[in-house]
Structure 1
Amino acid sequence: MLMQHVEHTTGDVPVKEADVRAYAWVVFALTVGLLLSDYMSRQVLNAVFPLLKASWALSDTQLGSLSSVVALMVGVLTFPLSVLADRWGRVKSIVLMAAMWSLATLGCALATNHGEMLIARAFVGIGEAAYGSVGIAVVLSIFPARLRSTLTGTFMAGGAFGSVLGMALGGTVAAHLGWRSAFGTMAALGLVLVIVYRFIVTEKRLALLQPANVGRHVQGLGVRMSLRTLMKGLFSTRSVVCAYIGSGIHLLVPAAMWAWMPSFLNRYYGMPVSKAAMSAAVFVLITGLGMVVCGNLADRLSKRARERKWMAAIAFCLICFALLIIGLRMPAGPLQLAVIGLGMFFSAGASGPSGAMVANLTPPSIHASAFATLTLANNLLGLAPAAILTGFIADRIGLLGALQLVPFAPLVAAIAFFIGKRNYAGDLDRLDALRERAVR
C-alpha cells in the first residue's frame, strides 16, 4: 500500500540553514564538477562536427546520430540504473558511472569510422545514464528544501557550463592537435575528477549531514519498496506527470541549438571550426546562466505562493518561443545572434522549477528514482530526438529551416505546465493528507 510508505513531500527536510556545512558545499562542487565532465565528454563532439563530416563524408543525419545516441542511452537506462543506485549506494554508483563515460570518451578518440564512433558514444551514454538523477539526489539530501529550485537549476546548469568547456576547449584542441586529441583531453579530465571524488565523498560522511535517522530511513525504504509502490510514488499525481512532460519537451530547444550551433555558424557565417566552436560556446554559457538565474527567480517568486513555480516555468517557455521564432527568421548578422542569445537564456529556464516540482511531489526515499524519471522524460522527449531530428530535417530543407521549427517545442511545454499548475495545489493537499493518515 502506498500509504505505508508515504513521507513528507512538500515541506523542508529538517536541515536548517546552520546545518549546511562547508562539506556540503564541497560535495556540491565535486558533484557539479563531475557533471561538467559528463557534458564535456558529451558535447565535445559538436565542436568537431565539421571535421568529422569532412573526414568521413558523413551526412547531417549521421552526425546527429552520434549526438542523439548518447541521450537515447541515457533515456533508456536512467530509470533502472537509478533504482539500482538507490539500493547499491549512490556514491559508489557515481564513481563507476564517471569512470565508464571517461573511458568511453577515450574510445571515441580511437574510433576509425562512424560505426566504431557510434558504439563508443553509446557507452558514453550508458556511463552517463543515471548520473544526473543520482547526483541531484545526493545534493538535495544534504540541503534545505527551500533551496530546491536554486540547487536544481544550478546543478542542471552544470550541463550547460560543461558543454561550454567541451565545445570551446574541444574546438581549440581540435584546431591545433586534431579531433582525436579533443576526445582524449576530455577523457583525461574526467578520470582525474573520478579519483578526487572517490577519496573525498563517502556515504558515511554524507549521512552526517542528513537529519537524524533520515538517511537510514530513506535507505531502508529504498531497499524494501516494491516496484508497484515505487511506480505509485513516481506517478501519484497529474501535476508530477505534467512536470515530467513539460521539462522534457522544453529541453528540445537547447539540445538542438547546442548540437547544431557550431555548424550553423560555420555554414551561415563562414566561421572556421575553432571560432565557430568558441562562438557557439557563448550561447551555451548564456543558457547555463539562464538556468541559474531562472531557478533562483522561481524560488524567490514562490516563497509565499507555491503555484508560482509553475507560472515561472510557463513564462520562461513562452519568452523563449517568442524570441527564437523572431531571431531565427532575421537576416544573418549581430542583431540576429543577439536575439537568439536572449532566447537561449530562457531556453532551459524551466529546469529548476521542474526539478523542484518533482521533489515536492515525491517522497525523499525515491528521489533518485524520481529524478531518473525526470531524466528519462528529458532525454526521450527532448535531448535524444533533438540532434538527429534536426539533422534529418536539415538534410531535406537545410539547417536554418530545421532550426526555425525548433522553437515550437517550448510552446507545447508551456501547455503541459499550465495543466500541471491547475492540479498542483490539490495534489499537494492530497499528498499531505495521505501522509497524515499514514503517520496515525
Structure 2
Amino acid sequence: MKDTWYKWELLFWLWLAFFFNQADRQIFNVVLPLIKADLQLTDAQLGLVASLFVLVIGLCIPVAGVVGDRFNRKTILCVSLLVWSAATFVTGISTLLWHLIFLRSIAVGGGEAFYAPAANALLGDHHTKSRAVALSIHQTALYAGVVLSGWLGAWLGERYGWKTTFYVFGGVGVGLAGLLMLRLRSAPARATGTLEVPDWRAGIRAFAAEPRAWLLTAAFAGMVLVNVGYLTWMPTFLHEQFRLSLTQAGFHSMFYHHLFAFFGVLLGGLGSDRLARRSARGRLVLQACALLLGVPFIWYMGQSTSLTGTYVALAAFGFCRGVYDANIYATLFDVVAPAYRATSSGLMAMAAFLVGSLSPYLLGVMKPTWGLSGGLSSLSVAYLVAGICVAITWFISSSKKATTFV
C-alpha cells in the first residue's frame, strides 16, 4: 500500500519540478520586448538566444538519456533542477547579448535537458497500468507552468523590471530542488541493485533498428518545431498585432491554448490506456488524428484578424496538441525495450529539439518581411507532416511481426 501511494507522491513532486522546468523557459518569451528595449537587441538576436537555448537542449538530451539509464535518477533530477534554477536566477544580471547566450541558452538549457529522460523513465518504472494517465498528469505541469509564467512573468516584468522575473522563478526553483532531494527515491529495482545497467551503445542500436521509433521521432520534431515557434513569438504577436499590454499578451497567448491542452491531455491519457488494452495500435490512432486535426487551427491562429478568432484557434490547437502530448512517451515505450527507455527518450528528444531550435530564429528573420502572421501560419505544415509520420507508424504496427512492449 505504501509503494502504491508513493508512485502518486512521486508524480506530485515531478509535477512541481516540470512546472518550473516550463515556467523558466517561458518567462524569457513573455518579457522579450522589455529585454529588447533594455539591452537594445534586434528581433533576430532575440530569436538567436531562443534558438540556441533549444539547440543546447537538443545536443545535451541524448547524453541525459544515457545517463538516466545508467545512474541514479533521483540524483539526476535534483541536480538538474538545481542547475537550471540557479542559472535562471543569475540570468537576471545579464547586460549583454553574450550574457544571455551563456546564462540562458547554455546554462539553463543544459540543466533542463537532463530532466525529461530521467523523469519520464522514473514514472514509467513506478507506473505500469496507469502509465499513460501518470504521464498525462505530468504533462499538465507544462501547461500550468507556461500559463502562470505567461501572466506572472509579464506582470513582474512590467512592474519591477524583467530581471525580477528571473530572480523570483529561479529562487523558488532552488528551494524546490532541496525538497526533492529529501522526498524522492529511486525505482525499487534500481535501489536493490536488481536492475541490470544497460550498455548505452546497445540502447542506441536498439533505437536505430526500430523504424517506428524514427517515425515517432519525426512526428515529435514537427510538434516541437511548432510549439517552440508559438511559445517564443505568440506573446509578441498579440502585443504588436492587437495592441495588448505585455501582461495581457503574456496571459492570453498562453491561457486558451494550454487550458484546452490540459483537458486534451487528460482525455488523451485516459482514452489511450483504454484503447491500448484493446489494441496495441490504439495510442497511434489518437496521435495521428490529433496532429492532423490541429493543422487548420495552427494556420488560422496567424491569419485571424480578430482577437476572438485567434483565441478560438489557439484553444482548438491546444486541445489537439494535448491529445498528442498524452501519448508522446507512451507510444515510444510501446516500441522500445524497457531497459532503453531513457536512452530512447533522449535520442527522440535530441532530434526534436535540434529541429525545433530553428523555429524562433527563422520566425525572427521572417518577421520584418513576412510578418509574424505569415510565419506562425506556416508552422501548420510541420503538423501535417507529423500526422502523416504517425499514420505510417500505425500502418507498420499493424504487421503481426511488430513487437509491442508493456
Q: TM-score, normalised by structure 1?
A: 0.86
Confirm or deny: 8 A CA contact 1:313 1:350 kept in the other structure: yes
Confirm or deny: 8 A CA contact 1:251 1:348 kept in the other structure: no
Select 1:421's aligned residue among 368, 379, 394: 394
Q: How far did residue 183 of structure 1 move?
A: 0.4
Select 2:382's aligned residue among 397, 409, 425: 409
Select 2:216's aligned residue among 243, 257, 264: 243
Confirm or deny: 8 A CA contact 1:65 1:387 kept in the other structure: yes
Write the distance in 2 (CA, Å) between the matches of 1:293 and 1:56: 43
Tell me the equivalent position of 1:216.
193
List structure 1 runs of 4+ shifted beyond 6 angstroms: none
Q: How far did residue 187 of structure 1 move?
A: 0.5
1:300 aligns with 2:300: no
Q: How far did residue 402 of structure 1 move?
A: 0.8
Q: How far did residue 364 of structure 1 move?
A: 1.4
Tell me the equivalent position of 1:352.
326
Select 1:161's aligned residue among 144, 157, 167: 144
What secondary structure is seen at the aligned counterpart in 2 of 1:302?
helix
Unaligned runs of 5+ in 1: 1-17, 436-440
Tell me the equivalent position of 2:230.
257
Q: How far did residue 274 of structure 1 move?
A: 1.4
Write the distance in 2 (CA, Å) between the matches of 1:183 and 1:214: 36
Tell me the equivalent position of 1:89.
72
Write the distance in 2 (CA, Å) between the matches of 1:43 and 1:215: 39
Tell me the equivalent position of 1:51.
34
User: Who wins on radius of gyration, i.e. which is larger?
Assistant: 1
Select 2:310's aligned residue among 312, 316, 336: 336
What secondary structure is seen at the aligned counterpart in 2 of 1:395?
coil
What secondary structure is seen at the aligned counterpart in 2 of 1:21?
helix
1:398-435 residue CA offsets vs partner (Å, 9 max, x unmatched): 11111111111110001111111111143764577xx9
Write the distance in 2 (CA, Å) between the matches of 1:398 and 1:142: 47
Q: How far did residue 226 of structure 1 move?
A: 5.3
Aligned AA (1:130):
F
1:135 aligns with 2:119: yes
Q: How far did residue 160 of structure 1 move?
A: 2.4
Change (3 A) 1:249 1:131: same
Aligned AA (2:6):
Y
1:66 aligns with 2:43: no
Percent identity reads: 20
Q: How far did residue 86 of structure 1 move?
A: 2.5
Alignment of 1:271-290 (within 5 A): 271-282=244-255, 283-290=257-264
Change (3 A) 1:85 1:343: closer
Aligned AA (1:43):
Q
Q: How far did residue 332 of structure 1 move?
A: 2.1
Write the distance in 2 (CA, Å) between the matches of 1:348 and 1:320: 10
Q: How far did residue 149 of structure 1 move?
A: 2.6
Tell me the equivalent position of 1:187.
170
Confirm or deny: 8 A CA contact 1:61 1:395 kept in the other structure: no
Q: TM-score, normalised by structure 2?
A: 0.93
Q: How many residues align?
A: 404
Q: How far did residue 361 of structure 1 move?
A: 1.3
Alignment of 1:220-231 (within 5 A): 220-222=196-198, 225=199, 227=201, 229-231=202-204
**Which range moves more in the overlay, 30-39 or 54-63?**
54-63
Confirm or deny: 8 A CA contact 1:237 1:427 kept in the other structure: no
1:37 aligns with 2:14: no
Aligned AA (2:115):
Y
Change (3 A) 1:19 1:303: farther
What secondary structure is seen at the aligned counterpart in 1 of 2:244?
coil
Write the distance in 1 (CA, Å) between the matches of 2:387 and 2:65: 28
1:191-249 residue CA offsets vs partner (Å, 9 max, x unmatched): 1110100011123xx31xx6xx897343x233xx251x222222232112111111221
Write the distance in 2 (CA, Å) between the matches of 1:103 and 1:395: 35
Confirm or deny: 8 A CA contact 1:254 1:347 kept in the other structure: no
Q: How far did residue 372 of structure 1 move?
A: 1.1
Superposition CA RMSD, Å: 2.2
Change (3 A) 1:72 1:251: same
1:132-189 residue CA offsets vs partner (Å, 9 max, x unmatched): 1111111110111x33333223323322221122222111111211100000011011
1:61-95 residue CA offsets vs partner (Å, 9 max, x unmatched): 21122222221111101111321232231111111
Write the distance in 2 (CA, Å) between the matches of 1:302 and 1:257: 31
What secondary structure is seen at the aligned counterpart in 2 of 1:28?
helix
Confirm or deny: 8 A CA contact 1:251 1:347 kept in the other structure: no
Write the distance in 2 (CA, Å) between the matches of 1:423 and 1:277: 42
Write the distance in 2 (CA, Å) between the matches of 1:385 and 1:59: 17
Select 2:99's aligned residue among 106, 116, 121: 116
Tell me the equivalent position of 1:7.
none
